């Protein structure tokens, strides 16, 4: 009997230890909110925002539809109250400490607990941990938060400053976004709706514990090689004991899922804050590698504090062991700009990412999984978290760690000078400190960047003619205080392992002065704002292209979601509201007039715009990839939207891939075939990210007449060098086609392995479509219907260019789309969506370029 009792006691031990260690009470449920001085209270979702809940309660209309954006703006001028009652037991009050964690308040707020003001919040990007044990009571407890209008609260700052900041993306006459430390994109952008939100945008919890809590744990990687990883475990502990306490601190570590090893030492915890360091060497570490380079090995590091036989605190950090640095070194051209991982130069392939929801808290775990599925599907290895949005949710970086995607992290400043007085900079210091500590354990985080385009704007956006010299001098001085002194100082102190650049583009280079591209990253807007032809991008390669792009409309099913048919025109009121770039629609039309026949109607215009964006951007990105090692990065603007809108995105708000995303998938393939037309020659390239050579490949090049099909074929054995781009075959164009044949002939090339499997293909046309003799042809379709999956087989007797298969289901995934269907070719496209039903036989439509004129 005694053995049974002992066994039961041992089985119960984990629960006893857990109870002694502490418990966490979620406070997300049961909130209500009300406009100040109004008696109407509504149920609130936490995390959430006032505007999101008002839409949910039908107080506000759908802000995405029609011209409804105008109807939601009144909310930003009001103050809003939130309240919650929660119940505590006598047992919970027996814990030594109780810490309220408000992870994110948006933005200006006073927080009250049981009659006491416990916090005044001034920053959306800072979480707050507050010791509240003396204020708690058995039974009912009350939290009350008053959120102040970020517009009205900052009106006195504007009034006393004497002028408006040049915040062109702030879509209100009074430019107030610069005074707020909240997401700039909430105030509008040149792709964004304006919804200036308030509320609890991150979770709320109450943590009970005894003796001590681990406040922070940094697994600092001071050096990582193939032989050894040198780790400094930096642990911050808060002791609530009034006396010194003897304890043992240990760190257990190992690759996720494997048996771990452990180090430990005796410590004495003093009342209050304690900083502990445990150095550690890991022999033969399994290093974390970027996608396509190897495995994304992740280690678990668990720190425990024991006092006697009691475990009083525990915290686990998951990270990958790797070295990463931004290499900026003088060379024969100027100065390099590339990322090196584990000592190997990496060509950065990816995009700029904006928050994917204007209602930020709709970005849940499923959302982030979908985002990274799209990164992976397009063969990306890099993403820039842009400085006009937010420091992303923890799940974003966890996905990046797991998938092998490197992250360029901007601090959240963009496109405008900011105040630099002591009070403002104190707020920025708290924000930077909080987010450096929150993100520094992530293996995917490659380097930090101070801001987006502020130095470029100061130098090149014409503000000198609009503002007095003393104002400009103050802005330059403030820039240096914030981005050359404060933030890098904090990164050196709190991170100490990563590179930092004060802004992007790095040296304030303007796209109008491409001579600066030889020593910097570049935001090259000569394409688009500079009206440069697509083919011109190949002649102005930067060392690293960190922004460039071209707009398109989303496809028609997305346009139908916000615009009735009588608004389907470029100049309609609804279409104007859903185009935030000042010259957007006219520029799309200007480029279309350069390259395509005039479409017959608005729907054809939308389709041709998608095709033009995809093919034009492919040309730019391929030139950058061919241009390595001089050019070592192509991050296009932008991958996503935060509402249904005309923009530079390659995926629309409803997760429909535009033509551009399919083209990016192809051109960013880890081993891709490229072609350059130069000096009456076609140069074929292999562009490889793999760390091993690929030999015994076959290059096949076919000359295809649009009507009669294949006329010539050439084959060549080639090799693709590891982590390199190089020419593997050159043809004189005159050997392939005559001058008169160019208008009705294409070159179809593909790369295959030793087993005949096609690795990459590349179609080359000698002209853009308005100078091609595209044949009239019918694309025939045959569909196999299954629940969740439709298989569409396409055939055409003659060339059908940029064939677009469309289905009226948002977010359906296509195995391919916007394809060139060759004469006599049979292609099958698989459409997948949980909404597809075999019995429904959901209609499928097909369109190609020749049908639009």
pLDDT at 584 over 90: no
> Confidence band (pLDDT; 50, 70, 90) for 786?
very high
Q: End-to-end distance of the chain based on CA atoms, in angstroms?
A: 90
> Confidence band (pLDDT; 50, 70, 90) for 512?
confident
Angle, in degrees to the nearest 10, between helices 602-626 and 659-667 = 20
pLDDT tens track for 591-650: 999 999 999 999 999 999 999 999 999 999 999 999 999 999 999 999 999 999 999 999
| CB-based contacts of 614, cutoff 8 Å, min separation 6 | 658, 659, 660, 661, 662, 663, 818
pLDDT at 1 over 70: no
The confidence score (pLDDT) of residue 835 equals 97
The confidence score (pLDDT) of residue 204 equals 98
The confidence score (pLDDT) of residue 95 equals 96
The confidence score (pLDDT) of residue 162 equals 85
> Confidence band (pLDDT; 50, 70, 90) for 529?
very high
Which of 137, 95, 104, 149 lies closest to 123 in space, CA to CA?
A: 104
Instruction: Write out the two tokens for 853.
Output: 């004129």
pLDDT average, residue stretch 289-314: 96
pLDDT at 19 over 90: no
pLDDT at 706 over 80: yes
pLDDT tens track for 201-223: 999 999 999 999 999 999 999 99
pLDDT tens track for 721-752: 999 999 999 999 999 999 999 999 999 999 99
pLDDT tens track for 404-440: 999 999 999 999 999 999 999 999 999 999 999 999 9
pLDDT at 368 over 50: yes
pLDDT average, residue stretch 546-564: 98
Contact between 107 and 121 under an 8 Å Cβ cutoff? The reply is yes
Contact between 289 and 404 under an 8 Å Cβ cutoff? The reply is yes
Other CB atoms within 10 Å distance of the CB of residue 522: 30
pLDDT average, residue stretch 523-548: 96
300, burial (CB in 10 Å: exposed 0-12, middle 13-18, buried 19+): middle
pLDDT at 679 over 90: yes
Q: How many CA atoms lie within 13 A of 599 on its CB side?
A: 21
**Beta-ladder partners of 543:** none
> Confidence band (pLDDT; 50, 70, 90) for 343?
very high
What value does the mean pLDDT of the chain take? 95
């Amino acid at each position: 009997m005694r053995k049974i009792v002992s066994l039961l006691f041992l089985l119960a031990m984990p629960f006893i230890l857990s109870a002694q260690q502490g418990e966490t009470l979620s406070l997300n449920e049961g909130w209500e909110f009300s406009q100040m001085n109004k008696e109407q209270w509504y149920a609130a979702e936490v995390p959430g925002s006032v505007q999101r809940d008002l839409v949910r309660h039908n107080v506000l209309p759908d802000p995405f539809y029609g011209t409804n954006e105008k109807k939601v703006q009144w909310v930003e001028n009001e103050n809003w109250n939130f309240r919650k009652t929660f119940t505590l037991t006598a047992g919970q009050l027996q814990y030594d400490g109780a810490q309220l964690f408000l992870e994110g308040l948006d933005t200006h707020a006073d927080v009250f607990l049981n009659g006491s003001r416990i916090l005044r919040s001034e920053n959306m990007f800072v979480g707050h941990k507050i010791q509240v044990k003396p204020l708690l009571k058995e039974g009912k407890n009350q939290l009350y938060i008053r959120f102040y209008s970020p517009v009205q609260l900052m009106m006195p700052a504007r009034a006393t400053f004497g002028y408006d900041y040049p915040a062109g993306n702030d879509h209100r006459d009074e430019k107030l976004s610069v005074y707020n430390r909240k997401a700039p994109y909430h105030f509008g952008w040149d792709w964004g709706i304006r919804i200036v939100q308030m509320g609890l945008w991150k979770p709320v919890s109450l943590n009970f514990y005894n003796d001590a809590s681990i406040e922070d744990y940094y697994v600092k990687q001071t050096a990582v090689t193939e032989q050894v990883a040198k780790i400094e475990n930096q642990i911050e502990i808060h002791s609530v004991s009034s006396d010194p306490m003897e304890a043992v601190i240990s760190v257990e570590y190992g690759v996720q899922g494997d048996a771990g090893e452990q180090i430990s030492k005796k410590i004495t915890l003093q009342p209050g804050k304690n900083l502990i360091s445990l150095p550690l060497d890991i022999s033969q570490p399994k290093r974390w590698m970027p996608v396509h380079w190897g495995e994304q090995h992740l280690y678990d590091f668990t720190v425990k504090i024991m006092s006697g036989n009691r475990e009083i605190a525990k915290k686990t950090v998951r990270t990958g062991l790797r070295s990463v640095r931004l290499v900026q070194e003088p060379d024969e051209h100027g100065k390099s700009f590339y990322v090196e991982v584990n000592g190997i130069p990496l060509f950065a392939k990816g995009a700029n990412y904006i928050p994917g929801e204007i209602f930020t808290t709709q970005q849940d775990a499923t959302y982030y999984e979908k985002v990274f599925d799209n990164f992976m599907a397009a063969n990306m290895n890099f993403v820039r978290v842009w400085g006009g949005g937010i420091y992303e949710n923890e799940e974003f970086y966890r996905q990046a760690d797991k998938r092998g995607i490197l992250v360029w992290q901007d601090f959240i400043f963009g496109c405008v000078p900011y105040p630099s007085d002591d009070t403002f900079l104190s707020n920025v210091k708290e924000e930077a400190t909080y987010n450096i500590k929150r993100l520094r354990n992530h293996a995917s985080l490659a380097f930090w960047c101070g801001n987006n385009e502020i130095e470029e704007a100061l130098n090149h956006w014409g503000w000198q003619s609009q503002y007095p010299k003393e104002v400009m001098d103050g802005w330059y001085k403030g820039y240096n205080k914030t981005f050359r002194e404060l933030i890098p100082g904090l990164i050196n102190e709190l991170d100490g392992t990563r590179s930092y650049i004060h802004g992007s583009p790095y040296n304030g280079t303007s796209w109008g002065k491409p001579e600066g591209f030889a020593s910097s990253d570049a935001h090259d807007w000569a394409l688009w704002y500079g009206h440069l032809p697509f083919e011109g991008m190949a002649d102005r390669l930067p060392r690293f292209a960190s922004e460039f792009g071209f707009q398109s409309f989303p496809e028609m099913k997305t346009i139908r979601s916000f615009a009735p048919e009588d608004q389907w025109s470029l100049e309609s009121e609804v279409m104007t509201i859903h185009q935030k770039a000042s010259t957007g629609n006219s520029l799309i039309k200007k480029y279309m007039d350069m390259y395509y026949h005039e479409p017959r109607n608005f729907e054809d215009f939308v389709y041709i715009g998608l095709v033009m964006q995809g093919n034009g951007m492919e040309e730019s990105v391929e030139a950058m990839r061919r241009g390595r090692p001089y050019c070592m990065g192509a991050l296009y603007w932008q991958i996503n939207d935060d509402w249904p809108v005309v923009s530079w995105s390659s995926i629309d708000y409803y997760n429909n891939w535009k033509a551009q995303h399919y083209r990016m998938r192809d051109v960013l393939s880890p081993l891709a075939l490229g072609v350059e037309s130069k000096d009456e020659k076609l140069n074929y390239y292999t562009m490889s990210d793999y760390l091993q050579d690929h030999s015994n490949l076959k290059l096949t090049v076919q000359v295809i007449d649009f009507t009669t099909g294949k006329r010539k074929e050439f084959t060549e054995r080639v090799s693709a060098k590891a982590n390199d781009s190089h020419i593997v075959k050159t043809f004189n164009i005159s050997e392939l086609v005559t001058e008169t044949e160019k208008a009705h002939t294409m070159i179809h090339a593909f790369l295959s392995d030793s087993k005949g499997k096609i690795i990459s293909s590349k179609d080359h046309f000698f002209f853009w479509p308005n100078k091609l003799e595209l044949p009239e042809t019918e694309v025939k379709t045959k569909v196999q219907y299954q629940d969740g999956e439709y298989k569409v087989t396409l055939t055409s007797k003659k060339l059908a260019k940029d064939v677009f298969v469309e289905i009226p289901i948002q977010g359906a995934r296509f195995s391919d789309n916007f394809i060139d269907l060759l004469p006599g070719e049979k292609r099958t496209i698989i459409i997948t969506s949980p909404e597809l039903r075999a019995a429904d036989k959901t209609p499928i439509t097909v369109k190609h370029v020749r049908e639009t004129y």
